[in-house]
């Protein structure tokens, strides 16, 4: 008996397709297109605000067809997978984390290895984030503030708001952020220049400017001062990026993308987008933009739309930390081009499986004798080779292979979902696909 959560084979046909490069007649992974930067808009989406689009991001290690989901390999590894598996499931690029790789094994070592792609044997484009989020959430005692924010119901409490400001003021100044390693407690300082040095040594194709993390608990007055600090850090990042690009002769070009903050305030978000879009330091501008910071899920599309309207059409937009199916549709319609999130692999390690009809836990008793695939009609390696009963057994037996098989499926599901959004925009079937997919997923 197949999983009651899996849905019909016909309804899941988009999951059965081969990886996107075979469908889109795109270049093989890692193929150099002759361009190491730039963005081309291929097709417009008329739905909603008319901000959605299909495009191509050019990098030194190949092209990225957008919209696209970028799996996260925090420590130069998508947990439980080898890069060949990541390529086989259709990923076009991967993202690694500057904070974690700075602490272990060290960005200088990765530089000696030829950059993060060479180090982890990934031939395609790579992203690195600036480390700003992890510096504050992991290294500067800010995790408690974030936990209070995510628990909900406390954002209007003035005492908690003051705790958030106090936590920030304790570690953040106009020059940078002081933090302690979550590994061994050693003290470090990140500045815009340090973040640029680390990311240049990591050798990513796309890196992000160093920015300050705030939460919804921070009052508007702090959001305003933080935003101006982030903009000054962005200018410093541009200058240091230009210097390092010049002195690191012979290295592939690395793109620098600015990060748009401003929480849930329309005027701050629009101001940030205009400021970052116009920012120019001796002829050096941002190659693209990340949309980050604090926002509530229900306001996601609105905020991304504000930013997209201000940024213009000539550069790509990356939405940081998004992976829920409903969020992809909202964000694409609002103008986001690429996405990253640890969630598909993280929940997979806890036996949570993505399906078109909703997420389910394969350790549930009803899967003990389910000899069909995790999801009917899914073309991932796990679903075409193993039964739900076997994956259920692996989790119950605490076998390492359980995480591998579940992660393959969840990453395939997420990559394929965004690929199908791209393909249906091109074919004119986007709205029908969106309505069918979300109708079944939200009922599941």
Domain 42-341: assigned CATH number = 3.20.20.105
Q: Give the DSSP H/E element, type plus range, for residue 332.
A: helix 325-333
C-alpha separations of 293 from 79, 135, 185, 321, 369 in Å:
25, 14, 26, 10, 44
Name the band, by pLDDT with cuts 50, 70 and 90, for residue 182. confident
Tens-place pLDDT, residues 375-407: 999 999 999 999 999 999 999 999 999 999 999
Amino acid 155: pLDDT? 61
Amino acid 75: pLDDT? 97
Tens-place pLDDT, residues 10-39: 678 899 976 555 334 445 676 666 799 999
* Residue at token pair 């300050």: 212
User: Given 129, 211, 337, 376, which residue is catalytic?
Assistant: 129
Which of these ranges, 165-169, 219-223, 226-230, 240-244, has the smallest mean pLDDT?
A: 165-169
Amino acid 60: pLDDT? 97
Amino acid 2: pLDDT? 39
DSSP 150-198: HH-S-TT-HHHHHHHHHHHHHHB-SS-EEEE-TTT--EEEE-HHHHHHH
C-alpha separations of 131 from 139, 211, 242, 270, 435 in Å:
10, 9, 20, 24, 37
**Catalytic status, residue 40:** no
Across the range 53-73, mean pLDDT stands at 97
Residues 6+ apart with CB under 8 A from 147: none
**Catalytic status, residue 337:** no
Which of these ranges, 135-139, 201-205, 237-241, 281-285, has the smallest mean pLDDT?
A: 135-139
**Distance separating alpha carbons of residues 262 and 231, to the nearest angstrom:** 11
Tens-place pLDDT, residues 108-162: 999 999 999 999 999 999 999 998 777 766 655 565 555 555 445 456 778 778 8
Amino acid 323: pLDDT? 87
Tens-place pLDDT, residues 298-324: 999 999 999 999 998 999 999 999 989
C-alpha separations of 400 from 127, 246, 392 in Å:
27, 45, 12
User: Given 111, 211, 287, 340, which residue is catalytic?
Assistant: 340
β-partners of residue 128 are 96, 207
| Res. 248: pLDDT tops 80 | yes
Which of these ranges, 88-92, 104-108, 295-299, 386-390, has the smallest mean pLDDT?
A: 295-299
Across the range 190-212, mean pLDDT stands at 97
Question: For the chain, what's the residue count?
Answer: 444
Amino acid 152: pLDDT? 53
DSSP 243-297: HHHHHSTTSPP-EEEEEE--TT-HHHHHHHHHHHHH--BTTB--SEEEE-S---G
- Domain limits, the chain: 1-31+344-439, 42-341
Amino acid 24: pLDDT? 40
Angle at 314 between CA 308 and CA 320, to 5 degrees: 45
Q: Is it true that the peptide bond before 272 is cis, omega within 30 degrees of 0?
A: no
**Distance separating alpha carbons of residues 413 and 17, to the nearest angstrom:** 11
Tens-place pLDDT, residues 334-371: 999 999 999 999 999 999 999 999 999 999 999 999 99
Amino acid 22: pLDDT? 38
Average confidence score pLDDT of the chain: 91
Residues 6+ apart with CB under 8 A from 290: 129, 208, 257, 258, 259, 260, 317, 318, 319, 320
Q: What are phi and psi of 365, to 5 degrees?
A: -55, -30
**Distance separating alpha carbons of residues 324 and 18, to the nearest angstrom:** 22
């Amino acid at each position: 008996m197949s999983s009651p959560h899996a849905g019909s084979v016909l309804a899941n046909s988009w999951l059965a397709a081969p990886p996107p490069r075979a469908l889109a007649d795109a270049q093989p992974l890692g193929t150099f297109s002759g361009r190491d930067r730039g963005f081309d808009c291929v097709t417009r989406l008329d739905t909603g605000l008319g901000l959605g689009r299909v495009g191509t991001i050019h990098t030194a290690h190949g092209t990225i067809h957008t919209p696209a989901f970028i799996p996260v390999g925090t420590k130069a590894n998508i947990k439980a997978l080898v890069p060949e598996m990541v390529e086989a499931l259709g990923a076009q690029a991967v993202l690694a984390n500057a904070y974690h790789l700075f602490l272990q094994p060290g960005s200088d070592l990765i530089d000696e290895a030829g950059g993060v792609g060479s180090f982890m044997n990934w031939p395609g484009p790579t992203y690195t984030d600036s480390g700003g989020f992890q510096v504050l959430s992991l290294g500067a005692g800010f995790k408690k503030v974030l936990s209070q924010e995510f628990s909900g119901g406390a954002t209007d409490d003035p005492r908690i708001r003051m705790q958030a400001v106090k936590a920030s003021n304790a570690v953040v100044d106009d020059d940078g952020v002081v933090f302690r390693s979550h590994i061994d407690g050693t003290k470090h300082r990140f500045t815009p220049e340090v973040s640029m040095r680390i990311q240049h040594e990591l050798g990513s194709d796309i890196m992000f400017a160093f920015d300050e993390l705030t939460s919804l608990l921070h009052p508007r007055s702090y959001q305003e001062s933080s935003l101006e600090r982030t903009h000054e850090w962005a200018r410093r990042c541009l200058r240091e990026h230009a210097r390092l690009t010049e002195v690191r002769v012979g290295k592939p070009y690395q793109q620098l993308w600015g990060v748009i903050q401003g929480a849930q305030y329309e005027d701050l978000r629009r101001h940030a987008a205009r400021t970052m879009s116009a920012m120019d330091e001796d002829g050096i501008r941002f190659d693209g933009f990340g949309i980050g910071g604090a926002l509530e899920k229900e306001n996601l599309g609105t905020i991304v739309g504000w930013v997209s309207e201000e940024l213009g059409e000539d550069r790509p937009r990356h939405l940081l930390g998004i992976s829920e199916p409903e969020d992809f549709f909202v964000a694409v319609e609002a103008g986001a081009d690429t996405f990253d999130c640890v969630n598909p692999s993280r929940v997979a390690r806890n036996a949570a499986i993505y399906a078109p009809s909703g997420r389910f836990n394969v350790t549930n008793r009803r899967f003990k004798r389910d000899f069909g695939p995790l999801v009917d009609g899914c073309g991932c390696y796990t679903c075409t080779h193993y039964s739900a009963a076997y994956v259920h057994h692996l989790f119950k037996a605490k076998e390492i292979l359980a995480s591998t098989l579940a992660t393959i499926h969840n990453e395939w599901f997420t990559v394929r979902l965004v690929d199908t959004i791209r393909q249906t925009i091109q074919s004119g079937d986007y709205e029908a696909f969106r309505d069918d997919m979300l109708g079944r997923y939200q009922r599941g």
